[in-house]
Amino acid sequence: MDKQAKIYVAGHRGLVGSAIVRRLLAEGHDNLLLVTSRELDLRNQAAVTDFFKREKPEYVFLAAAKVGGIEANNSFPAEFIHDNLMIQSNIIHNAYLSGTRRLLFLGSTCIYPRLAPQPLKEEYLLTGPLEPTNEPYAIAKIAGITMCRSYNRQFGTAFLAAMPTNLYGPNDNFDLEKSHVLPALIRKFHEAKDRNAEKVIVWGTGEPKREFLHVDDLADATLFLMNLPDDAYLSLLASHFSPALINIGAGEEVSIRELALLVKNVAGFAGELIFDRTKPDGTPRKLCDVTRIHDLGWRHRIGLEEGLRETYRWYVENMKTGA
Ligand SMILES: NC(=O)c1ccc[n+]([C@@H]2O[C@H](COP(=O)([O-])OP(=O)(O)OC[C@H]3O[C@@H](n4cnc5c(N)ncnc54)[C@H](OP(=O)(O)O)[C@@H]3O)[C@@H](O)[C@H]2O)c1
């Protein structure tokens, strides 16, 4: 992508989109197209068609989506499948019509079967039943992956689907009802320290293992992919890579216990950490296989402790009102 190329980052105020924008600006890209959902509701087909006809972006980072944890997915399954199908269909179809050179569609590892072997390889897509709690979301994302591949096959577009592991970093959602485990722990330990609480209770045994990637590393990976030379980029879309998608992860995992101890330490909470073993653990392991992206020459750089310290600082500076 040259520095003047017109680049549309859909979802630029979210965790992922904001990190991609920070990175693009740092690299000297100054022709960014950024519109909020208020200015352009991406579910609105006519509005998205007008926008692409008018703007004709050369590159598209598709990081707009309806996103949430188990509770939100369970409560609003119709919105999760409808909004995501509409957003991604409108963008992918209009990117094709307006001649977008490359598009990166972001999904998540929940597209893989619930009982897939670990680590999760790209080829495990569609080899078994999905986790029922977020099936509508995962099916929308799988439709997006299949759209990218189908448009590439029929129309010769160059649309790539990338599946990041669990992400964290600035602009994350720290709302305890809606957040993922890592921001929830940051908030819990911080508030416990403020209250001089004696203990923090964490759900489950602490034994499940999870993988985390700092969102700045994800942004780095997305630019790396968009900037790949044609032969390497197109080889990712070629039929011998079935499905045409790529995992983005750290390839390393920590137990929830190790994670909780790290956050406790980073937040400076001196009290006790208690695991409530009566609460569910969820799946025992969830780790991405990152061989495909490692083979292209990309690796994450931000270690978990360093990333946690930086995210904790951001949280304290930006969430003083406890939003
Ligand atoms: N967070 C994670 O741990 C994680 C992990 C793996 C993959 N991902 C993937 O990364 C992508 C982005 O996730 P995120 O965590 O950055 O989500 P997020 O923080 O909730 O941001 C989502 C963005 O989408 C935009 N959006 C939602 N509905 C819209 C609509 N109808 N019209 C226009 N814009 C709309 C929002 O725009 P406004 O702010 O303007 O309303 C928002 O900025 C998703 O595809 C997700 O699957 C996330």
Higher pLDDT, 38 or 242: 38
Characterise 55 by phi-psi region: left (phi > 0), alpha (psi -120 to 50), beta (else): alpha
What is the 313 CA–ligand 1 centroid distance (Å)?
23
Of all protein residues, the one whose alpha carbon is nearest to atom 7 of ligand 1 is 108
- Assign 68 a pLDDT band (cuts: 50, 70, 90): confident
Q: What is the model's pLDDT at position 232? A: 93
The CB of 107 under 6 Å from ligand 1? The reply is yes
- On the question of a cis peptide bond just before residue 132, with omega within 30 degrees of 0, the verdict is no
- To test the ligand 1 pocket, which listed residue (8, 9, 15) has its Cβ within 8 A of the most ligand atoms? 15
Domain 7-322: give its CATH architecture: 3-Layer(aba) Sandwich (3.40)
What is the 202 CA–ligand 1 centroid distance (Å)?
27
Q: What is the pLDDT of residues 220-276, one digit of tens each?
A: 999 999 999 999 999 899 765 567 899 999 999 999 999 999 999 999 999 999 999
Q: Coil, strand or helix: which one is 164?
A: strand
Q: What is the model's pLDDT at position 322? A: 46
Of all protein residues, the one whose alpha carbon is nearest to atom 11 of ligand 1 is 63
Whether 25 shows a pLDDT value over 80: the answer reads: yes
Q: What is the model's pLDDT at position 320? A: 63
279 vs 79: CA distance, rounded Å: 28
Q: What is the pLDDT of residues 151-197, one digit of tens each?
A: 999 999 999 999 999 999 998 988 877 778 899 999 999 999 999 99
Phi–psi pair at 302, nearest 5 degrees: -90, 115
Q: Cα–chain-centroid distance for residue 97? A: 26
Share of residues in the chain with pLDDT > 90 (%): 85
Q: What is the pLDDT of residues 85-134, one digit of tens each?
A: 999 999 999 999 999 999 999 999 999 999 999 999 999 999 999 988 88
